[in-house]
Amino acid sequence: MRTILSGCVRFTPCLALVLLVGCGQSDPPQFTLDMVAIAEKQIPANQQQKVANILEAMFGTPDDPFVLPETGLDLAKLQMAAGPVKSDQFGHETGLYRRHCAHCHGTTGDGLGPTAMILNPYPRDYRQGKFKFKSTERPAKPTDYDLETVLRQGVQGTAMPSFALLPDAQIDALVEYVKYLSMRGQTEIGLTDAMADLSEGEELPLTHDTLVAEILAPVAESWQEAPDKIIPTDGDNAKPDMPKAESIAAGEKLFYSAKANCAKCHGWSALGDGQTNDYDDWSKAIHEAEESLASDVNTLNEAEMSAEEREALARHVALLSSALATDALPPRHAIPRNLRQGVYRGGRAPYDIYRRIYAGINGAPMPAVGPPFPGAPGTLTSDEIWNLVDYVLSLPYEPISQPPRDQRAVSRAQL
């Protein structure tokens, strides 16, 4: 007995170590499919494998990336960012994405890295090709310079660090790899959509026309067009020659008006305490999937249906429920920026704020008030947007005890 007890005491730490550490060699990392989307689109297992195979043929693996010429991506840069973390005696480093990004953004770029769950805001999921902080029109892709700026400057108040200490070549490689993961993710969405549209017994043709011309090429083109979609801040969009105080006053009026409606979300105090129950697109997708699951469970429990239909629905519920548990982050509300802190995640230069108001924030509830395309009328004119820019930039210096004009008027009316 004593021997057993003594053995237990001595080997408990070792046992704990083995349990916690695990044993056996890890498998090489693999890209994973978006199981929530797969479950929602009800893609059967054999078709899922087909999607994975097509994606591997088009994009390779995390250790061995590959790109078709249509993507316009530089394979040498991708090879520098991909694979296991290594460096040589000449200072050449590879595996940059795995070392710097994958813990949060995930190997697939799905924003589901192991640390993601405890970060607020969640890391970006690149697969939809939506990026918040950029110089281009709302639905357009960011330019390389936009992605580089985010990498170099980081995002204030979040876990996204500044990689300003990395050499230029490494930053370039990471920018290329983010674009690669995003294109891969969007291609996956295109493929699963195509699979979902197939009628029973129909197969997706594995041809260049279908896979590359119809699915990959439009995705790649949207990235290649990004530099043409930059919102100009000169010419017709140049800042009006107007006294600063006058511009701020005009901006203040707009901020609280129904036309710009900024106060609705940013609050009457501009502390970001207006509407705080909206979701960004990533959380909204999960929220809608959860609602769909709840509705399906309800149907399963209450509605009358044939045994076959019940079995199919039960299978769908099980798949979606499992996907939401393992491949999704709990939805979180999008909190509007507190404009009195003077912290602007997309950049604090006046033209950054101009573009943020003009195009809104892609994927977030912040709407665009500029024209949807050049020449079209927008909610606000360029001059009005500049007035708002001046007011927003003045907010950190405005005494918060001074209530905004419209709210003051309402209070007087109530008295």
Partner 1 sequence: MNPSLDQRESPWPHRLAVALVCATFPMIWIGGLVTTYGAGMAVPDWPNTYGYNLFLYPWQTWVYGPFKLFIEHGHRLFGTLVGMIAIAFLVSTWCCQRRANLRWLGAAALIGVVAQGALGGLRVLADEVQIAKIHGIVGPVFFAFTVALASITSRRWQSAKRSEERQLGAIERLGVITTLLVFLQLVLGAQLRHLSPEAPLGNFRLALFFHLAVAVALLAHVFMLAARVLYSHRQESWLARPAVGLLVMLLVQIGLGAGSWVTNYGFPVWLSRYDFAAAYVPVADGAVQAWTTTAHVALGSLILATSLMLTLRSMRLSSPLSARFAPSKPATSPSQRILSMGAGL
Identified binder of partner 1 from the candidate list 42, 158, 224, 321, rule CB under 8 A? 158
Residue closer to partner 1 (CB basis): 53 or 120:
120
Binding track, positions 44-83, relative to partner 1; x by CB under 8 A: ----------------------------------------
Residue closer to partner 1 (CB basis): 10 or 412:
10
| Contact between 360 and partner 1 per CB under 8 A | no
Residue closer to partner 1 (CB basis): 154 or 227:
154
Residue closer to partner 1 (CB basis): 119 or 212:
119
| Contact between 87 and partner 1 per CB under 8 A | yes
Angstrom distance (rounded) from CA 232 to CA 375: 12
Site for partner 1 in 339-358 (CB under 8 A): 341-343
Binding track, positions 22-51, relative to partner 1; x by CB under 8 A: xxxxxx-x----------------------
Cβ–Cβ contacts within 10 Å for residue 371, how many? Answer: 19
Give Cβ neighbours of residue 290 (< 8 Å, ≥ 6 apart).
324, 331
| Contact between 124 and partner 1 per CB under 8 A | no
| Contact between 164 and partner 1 per CB under 8 A | yes
Angstrom distance (rounded) from CA 130 to CA 365: 13
Residue at 103: amino acid letter: H
Residue closer to partner 1 (CB basis): 219 or 286:
286
Length of the chain, in residues: 415
| Contact between 154 and partner 1 per CB under 8 A | yes
Residue from 141, 146, 148 nearest 222 by CA: 141
Q: What's the N-to-C CA distance of the chain in angstroms?
A: 84
Cβ–Cβ contacts within 10 Å for residue 24, how many? Answer: 5
Angstrom distance (rounded) from CA 261 to CA 399: 21
Identified binder of partner 1 from the candidate list 49, 53, 162, 407, rule CB under 8 A? 162
The distance of closest approach from Cβ of residue 155 to partner 1 in the complex, given in angstroms and rounded to an integer, is 7
DSSP 87-112: E-TT--EE-HHHHHTHHHH-TTSSS-
Residue closer to partner 1 (CB basis): 158 or 381:
158
Crossing angle for the helix pair 350-359 and 382-394, to the nearest 10 degrees: 120
Identified binder of partner 1 from the candidate list 161, 218, 374, 403, rule CB under 8 A? 161
Q: What value does the CA radius of gyration of the chain take, rounded to a whole number of Å?
A: 25
- Residue 294: burial class (beta carbons within 10 Å; 0-12, 13-18, 19+): exposed
| Contact between 399 and partner 1 per CB under 8 A | no
Residue closer to partner 1 (CB basis): 26 or 301:
26
| Contact between 91 and partner 1 per CB under 8 A | yes
Structure tokens at 203: 């197969």
Residue closer to partner 1 (CB basis): 98 or 138:
98
| Contact between 114 and partner 1 per CB under 8 A | yes
Cβ–Cβ contacts within 10 Å for residue 1, how many? Answer: 5
| Contact between 153 and partner 1 per CB under 8 A | yes
The distance of closest approach from Cβ of residue 408 to partner 1 in the complex, given in angstroms and rounded to an integer, is 25
DSSP three-state, residue 65: strand
Identified binder of partner 1 from the candidate list 327, 352, 384, 390, rule CB under 8 A? 327
User: Do 345 and 337 meet the contact criterion of CB atoms below 8 Å apart?
Assistant: yes
Which region, judged by CB under 8 A, interacts with partner 1, from 17-25, 199-207, 294-302, 307-315? Answer: 17-25
Number of residues that bind partner 1 (CB under 8 A): 64
For 79, the enclosing helix (H) or strand (E) is helix 75-81
The distance of closest approach from Cβ of residue 316 to partner 1 in the complex, given in angstroms and rounded to an integer, is 22
User: Do 381 and 371 meet the contact criterion of CB atoms below 8 Å apart?
Assistant: no
Footprint of partner 1 (CB under 8 A) = 2, 5-6, 9-10, 13, 16-17, 20-27, 29, 84-91, 93, 95, 98-100, 102-103, 106-107, 112-120, 153-166, 326-327, 329, 338, 341-343
